[in-house]
Structure formats: structure tokens, C-alpha cells
């Protein structure tokens, strides 16, 4: 159950409680045999705009095990600017055989003059919480050329670069998108950290809204 779970607590600490239901976030406490690798993970479905029975294209799992994400005093490591300790496993788990996908494709069918593209689910949810339609791209090196046409028609697509690798990736996207505008996050804060530190108004201000 998500309520009362480590996943709910982690999402709350990232300032995203208000959009947890919108994104269908869940928690894997116990797992059926063969799925133990997803235990103690936040479940992040890739919801399809149409919803319904086949409403999730896939699910990704993020480890929120206290032993990995908190220090000995129970403080989340990310709040101290420290790296989480996922030993012997990755921070994220993807279903076997899954392909790279865009997160939050629902943003693409909302009427808006602008759109944010940012790497990763948490930062996409962060912009959505701030009221800005946002899709999350998978990591660098996974772009598919057939995604590019989905970004036509917007006055501006804000391509949010969170770090050096992200800047290279977003520069490549901008070369393919005449309406793309690369935005580098300031003060070594990614989108989510900006929301947590300064609030939604300052986050929107990063793209001039």
C-alpha cells in the first residue's frame, strides 16, 4: 500500500505529494517470487493518456529503501546533497526487455503554447506540480528520432539541462527542434531541488514564466 509507505514518505520529501495520485505512484512492499528486485521500491507507471485497463505502458521502480536513501539519523541523503547508497543494485529498475520511453506523454495532448522536456520522472513531475506541462526523456543516448515530431507546433519547447551530460543531450535536441530553447538550471540545483529550495514560482521563473 502506498499510504504510509516509505515511497509516500520519499515522494513527500521530494515535495511531490500533490501529484502522487495524478501519476499513479505506488509502493512495492512485499513482492511475489521472481520480483524480489522490486521490493522496497517506489513504482512509477508510465501512464497512457487514454487511461483504461491498459493504461500503463510500463512501470519503472525506484529504490526507496531506508538503508539506501537515508543516513544513520534517518535524514534523506539527497536533502544533505549527498549521494544515495544503492549497493549491489541500481537506483532504478526497468522491466526486462523494456524499451526507452517518454514519461508523461499526457502532457503532449494538452493545449499549451509551451512544453518542458527534462530528463527523468522526478523532474518531469516537478514541473507538472509547478503547473507546467512536462515530459520526461530517458537518459542520454536513448533518444529516438521518431519522438521529435511530437514536439512540433509549440511556440517553445524548454529543454531543461540539469548537468553537463544533460546539456550535451539537450543541445542535440535543440539542433532538431527549431522551437527548442535550452535552459541550464542554476546554482547546481536540478528542477526538483529548485522546487524544494526556492518554490514553484522560482522554478517557473527559470523559463521566464
- Note the residues at the interface with Zn ion (CB under 5 A): 63, 65, 68, 86
Give whichever of 68 and 207 is closer to Zn ion, judged by the CB atom: 68
- Minimum distance between the CB of residue 165 and Zn ion, rounded to whole angstroms? 22
If the CB atoms of residues 63 and 107 are measured against Zn ion, the closer one turns out to be 63
* Matching residue, cell 522526478: 122
Q: What kind and span of H or E run contains 66?
A: helix 66-69
CA distance 204 to 153: 21
What's the closest the beta carbon of residue 78 comes to Zn ion, in angstroms? 13
Answer whether 187's CB lies under 8 Å from 164's CB: no
- In the DSSP assignment, the letter for residue 160 is E
Nearer to Zn ion, 29 or 55 (CB): 29
Nearer to Zn ion, 7 or 47 (CB): 7
Cα 89 from Cα 37, distance rounded (Å): 9
* Minimum distance of Zn ion from residue 40's CB (angstroms): 7
Measure CA 7 to chain center: 15
Cβ at position 39, least distance to Zn ion in Å: 10
Amino acid at each position: 500500500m502506498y499510504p504510509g509507505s516509505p515511497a509516500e514518505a520519499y515522494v513527500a520529501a521530494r515535495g511531490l505529494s500533490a501529484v502522487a495520485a495524478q501519476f499513479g505512484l505506488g509502493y512495492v512492499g512485499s513482492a511475489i517470487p521472481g520480483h524480489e528486485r522490486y521490493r522496497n521500491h517506489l513504482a512509477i507507471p508510465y501512464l497512457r493518456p487514454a487511461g483504461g485497463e491498459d493504461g500503463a505502458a510500463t512501470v519503472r521502480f525506484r529504490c526507496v529503501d531506508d538503508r539506501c536513501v537515508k543516513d544513520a539519523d534517518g535524514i534523506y541523503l539527497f536533502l544533505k546533497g549527498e549521494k544515495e547508497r544503492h549497493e549491489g543494485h541500481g537506483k532504478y529498475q526497468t522491466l526486462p526487455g523494456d524499451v526507452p520511453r517518454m514519461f508523461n506523454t499526457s502532457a503532449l495532448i494538452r493545449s499549451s503554447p509551451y512544453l518542458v522536456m527534462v530528463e527523468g520522472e522526478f523532474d518531469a513531475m516537478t514541473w507538472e506540480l509547478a503547473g507546467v506541462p512536462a515530459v520526461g526523456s530517458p537518459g542520454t543516448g536513448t533518444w529516438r528520432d521518431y519522438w521529435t515530431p511530437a514536439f512540433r507546433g509549440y511556440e517553445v519547447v524548454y529543454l531543461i539541462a540539469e548537468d553537463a551530460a544533460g546539456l550535451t543531450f539537450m543541445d542535440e535536441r535543440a539542433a532538431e527542434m527549431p522551437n527548442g530553447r535550452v535552459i541550464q538550471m542554476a546554482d547546481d540545483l536540478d528542477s526538483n531541488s529548485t522546487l524544494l529550495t526556492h518554490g514553484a514560482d522560482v522554478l517557473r521563473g527559470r523559463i521566464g514564466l
